[in-house]
Structure 1
Amino acid sequence: MPTPVITIAQMREWERATWATGVSEESVMRRAGAALAKVALRMTSPGSEVLVLAGKGHNGDDARFAAEELPGRLVRVVNVKDPAAAVAQVKCFSGVLIVDGLFGIGLSRPLAGDWLRLLAALNESRVPILAVDVPSGLDADTGEALGDAVRAAVTVTFGAVKQGLLCATAARFTGRLEVAADIGLVPCPFKSELNWTLPEDFAGFPPPRPVDGHKGTFGHLAIFAGSLGYHGAAVLAARGALRAMPGLVTVFTTERAYPAVAAQLAQPMVHPWMAGVKLPESCSAVLFGPGLAGPDVPERLRSELVGLWSESPLPVVADASALAWLPTGRTPSGAVRVVTPHPGEAAGMLGTTTVEVLADRIRAVREISRLGGGGWVVLKGRHTLVGRAEGSLFLNSSGNPRLGQGGSGDVLAGYLAGALAQPLLRADVGLLIRHAVWEHGHAADVLSDRQGAWTMMDLVDALGNTTRLGFA
């Protein structure tokens, strides 16, 4: 299940509750160290030199236990008592990874003097840094640097995400954020509005297909996408949808975009849009918006799609250009509605700025959902946020900056809608949406681990196949 986002005080209380049951601190630290070592092994190769900087507290103990779990690596452990001496160790290190176990969540005062010089040496070293629980010098409640903080490539935080690690100010220090949730603590005694998605949340999803299933069993997605100069968005959305394996996909595009779209899609049925066109009788979900930005998009098409959003009982996903002309207000009771804005589009929907959206993403998701009748919102970006006007919110744990390419959102919208078109997957719509978002990011992570550069077509090929065909 997803883990709550917690404060330092809650983490301390959780630890005390664990020690009260007789679980030893050493056993938890050893498991934390093993989880940290697993990431360090992933970041290095046999024969690599690794420098472990361990402070005097439990953060340092975690780092020392991790050092014992790095077979085949040339590990040097420095128990840092004199930061000035450690500066020299960092400056002469020519290996491939530094483990930062200097300070943990207990740091409450600004660093100064030789400690700041040590952090500066680490940040200037150009060696990737793996932070233990929290980058040294970062306040895990506020996300602010206490004088300065280590700029990690990866931070492995233990038990649950601390709220400060998610602040916009913390991003340049945490790098990629990973959670080692199972380190031997008792079940977390806290619940929070904001939750961190774990891969284990999707155990058993999607479920096995029935043996007597056929294309009619698995739904029919209708996509309205593409226009002059933006035909690629329709192609990517359709190909993304196919990776979710709905029974059928039909694409409607503008007359001028039709030749380019149809020429690149073999499996979907592709039609030029005409006024008054009816949805296929078997249609089970609708996606509209990708690439509907060209000068050839008729006002009649927009008005018909607005009508679908406002009146259709079918699940509807709105993306990209359509977000600028979606109506506010109620939608049919029980009908699933999903919008997938990036921060700039979210700002347009709220009549505010991108900076204000990023400063309070929770508020943005809640307000967009309220304006749209309580539907689902997928606010894309670092740790994409999924939720509605009420209830729990979920942070996505997968994905990386290489998703910052044109077409990434089209692929996601198609993949999500392709899953939503399948009635057998809609028992828990929130889980379905979160899975689509996570799988999209995970495919990008797998691609980035195995190759330097990749395109949206590579992403489409990886979707749903990350544990097969040599992708992982």
Structure 2
Amino acid sequence: MSERYSRSFPRDLYRAEDVRAMDRYAIETVGIPGIELMRRAGASAFAALRQRWPEARTLSAICGSGNNGGDAYVVARLAHDAGMDVRVYPVAPPTNLKGDALTAYQDYRAAGGETLDFIPADFEGAEVLVDGIFGTGLDREVGGYYADVIKAINRFSGHVVALDIPSGLHADTGSALGVAVKADLTVTFIGLKQGLFTGEGPEYAGEIVFSDLDTPPEVRYSVKPSAMLLPPWERGLPARPRHAHKGHFGHVLVVGGDSGYSGAARMAAEAAARVGAGLVSIATRKSHADLLNLTRPELMCHGVETIDDLRAPLERATVVAIGPGLGRSEWAKMLLDAVLNTDLPIVVDADALNLLAESTRTRDNWVLTPHPGEAARLLGATSQEIQKDRFDAVLKLQTKFGGVIVLKGAGSLVCGPDRLPRVCTAGNPGMASGGMGDVLTGVIAGLLAQRLDLFDAASLGVQLHAAAGDEAAKGGERGLLACDLMDPLRRLINL
């Protein structure tokens, strides 16, 4: 999911109820009439679609019975006033409209606009289709007639603009409520909804444009955000002092790489080195320990078959990354127990997470990096339940296990104690390939070795890993390999 929004975006994210509270504050405390906010919303959306598709001359609007429908009527009126060929399809009788939405409908009709009482499958060849069916208040599965309308919108071959949020998408969780509009452009208002940026949200929202509707800053400050966006990658770590030596930048020990999975440990180790760890070692099976550094001699490799074999590498380490290629054998369990019995900061991934799920432990100085399947095992749930509400899942993981949690996937989440969750908007589908998680493990461990705290190392690591993936994907997403990130990691950390 490469970034599809302006770098001038605010970073704060909100739940739907918080945005509604901001809206009320603007009306009741600041004194901006509701119809004025609605007209500003429609004007912002119309300006955004004209900027995106300046040659478009035909527009259809699908209008619901609430304020989201009112926004769509404003867009339709402005398009009509601009000389576009406009068709409006109410999905509920206009007689059901109330308040500001009714005023917006009356304004549209007074301007000479007409409505049609049916929903054509192809919307009569319009170039742009405006989705104004449901707003952020939807919290139930979409079915029946409304589901049929949304499916018709998704068959539309032109451009789709969603107002505030794609209809059918849950504003807080980013999951589709049975069926949801798949938009090319979403113009969202007042406050950024957290569900637009994780789970299925990015797929349904398309490009996101934000408008605060010219409300004063006090509106934004009237409620507390629920999460924050990680900023786009612009600079790496500060320049090193001239007198620095390798001991200043920590020693990462990667533990893993059972027979047949040695590459996972090797990739994690190189990633730790590429982001600046002073020393990197691998503790792995003796059968291939001598082979892992043939093409990367800077890595120190140790054959480990017993706890005694692991003792010396652990004593020299400042950070441990465990899990890449670890497996679930007795050997793996022995290594995990030995690592957990140290006081070292730990990054836990892959099969180490699956083993952890069998015997829950709590720890303050570790980073757990599950994908949805691993998160499901850790919480005794299904991956579908994890994806249905990723924010809830990451908070439950942090409460249960302590430390810092990175819930991977589209819109990766970083959650730590007493900190707002962070959401990563960078990355792309090409990164859905083997080894990417191992590289992330190494990146976070390498940053921890350079004395970043757990939350900052996890947040910066997720951000850097995703940015490197986007840079590597410039040659195409298909066929993108985890090792393709190594050179971008080095370049980006040195910006």
Structure 1 and Structure 2 fold alike (TM over 0.5): yes
Q: String of CA shifts for 1:367-425, please: whole Å, max 9, x gaps.
A: 444443x21111222322222466533333233433221111111111111111111x3
**Equivalent residue letter for 1:392:** L
Aligned position for 2:103: none
Aligned position for 2:378: 349
How far residue 307 of structure 1 moved from its aligned partner, in angstroms, is 2.7
**Equivalent residue letter for 1:404:** A
| Structure 2 residue 218 is the aligned partner of structure 1 residue 190 | no
Q: Is the 8 A contact 2:49 2:161 kept in 1?
A: no
How far residue 308 of structure 1 moved from its aligned partner, in angstroms, is 2.4
Q: 1:328 aligns with which of 332, 357, 360?
A: 360
Q: 1:430 aligns with which of 455, 461, 465?
A: 455
| Structure 2 residue 311 is the aligned partner of structure 1 residue 272 | no
Q: String of CA shifts for 1:411-463, please: whole Å, max 9, x gaps.
A: 1111111111111x33xx32331121123233334555652422222233333
Q: Is the 8 A contact 1:246 1:419 kept in 2?
A: yes
In the superposition, the TM-score normalised over structure 2's length comes to 0.71
Worse-matched range after superposition: 28-37 or 413-422: 28-37
When residues 173 and 283 of structure 1 are mapped into structure 2, their CA distance, relative to the original with a 3 A threshold, is closer
**Structure ID, larger Rg:** 2
Q: Is the 8 A contact 1:50 1:99 kept in 2?
A: no
Note the 1:264-413 alignment, pairs <5 A.
Answer: 264-273=295-304, 275-279=309-313, 283-293=317-327, 299=331, 302-312=333-343, 314-326=344-356, 328-331=360-363, 336-372=365-401, 374-388=402-416, 391-413=419-441
RMSD of equivalent CA atoms: 4.6
When residues 138 and 222 of structure 1 are mapped into structure 2, their CA distance, relative to the original with a 3 A threshold, is closer
Aligned-partner Cα distance in 1 for 2:228–2:276: 27
**Equivalent residue letter for 2:321:** L
When residues 322 and 48 of structure 1 are mapped into structure 2, their CA distance, relative to the original with a 3 A threshold, is farther
**Equivalent residue letter for 1:436:** G
Aligned position for 2:94: none
**Equivalent residue letter for 1:160:** G
Q: Is the 8 A contact 1:135 1:173 kept in 2?
A: no
What is the SS of the residue equivalent to 1:216?
helix
In the superposition, the TM-score normalised over structure 1's length comes to 0.74
What is the SS of the residue equivalent to 2:286?
coil
Greater RCO, CA 8 A, separation 6+: 2
Q: Is the 8 A contact 1:219 1:282 kept in 2?
A: no
Which ranges of structure 2 fall in alignment gaps of 5 or more residues?
1-9, 64-68, 89-113
Q: String of CA shifts for 1:206-242, please: whole Å, max 9, x gaps.
A: 3443344332222221111212211221222123223
When residues 370 and 137 of structure 1 are mapped into structure 2, their CA distance, relative to the original with a 3 A threshold, is closer
**Equivalent residue letter for 1:441:** A
**Equivalent residue letter for 1:443:** A
Aligned position for 1:251: 282
Aligned position for 2:253: 222
Q: Is the 8 A contact 1:178 1:397 kept in 2?
A: no
Q: Is the 8 A contact 2:122 2:156 kept in 1?
A: no
Greater share of residues in helix: 2
When residues 244 and 89 of structure 1 are mapped into structure 2, their CA distance, relative to the original with a 3 A threshold, is same
Which ranges of structure 1 fall in alignment gaps of 5 or more residues?
67-74
Aligned position for 1:439: 464
Aligned-partner Cα distance in 1 for 2:348–2:136: 45
What is the SS of the residue equivalent to 1:249?
strand
Q: Is the 8 A contact 1:138 1:144 kept in 2?
A: yes
| Aligned pairs, number | 439
What is the SS of the residue equivalent to 1:434?
helix
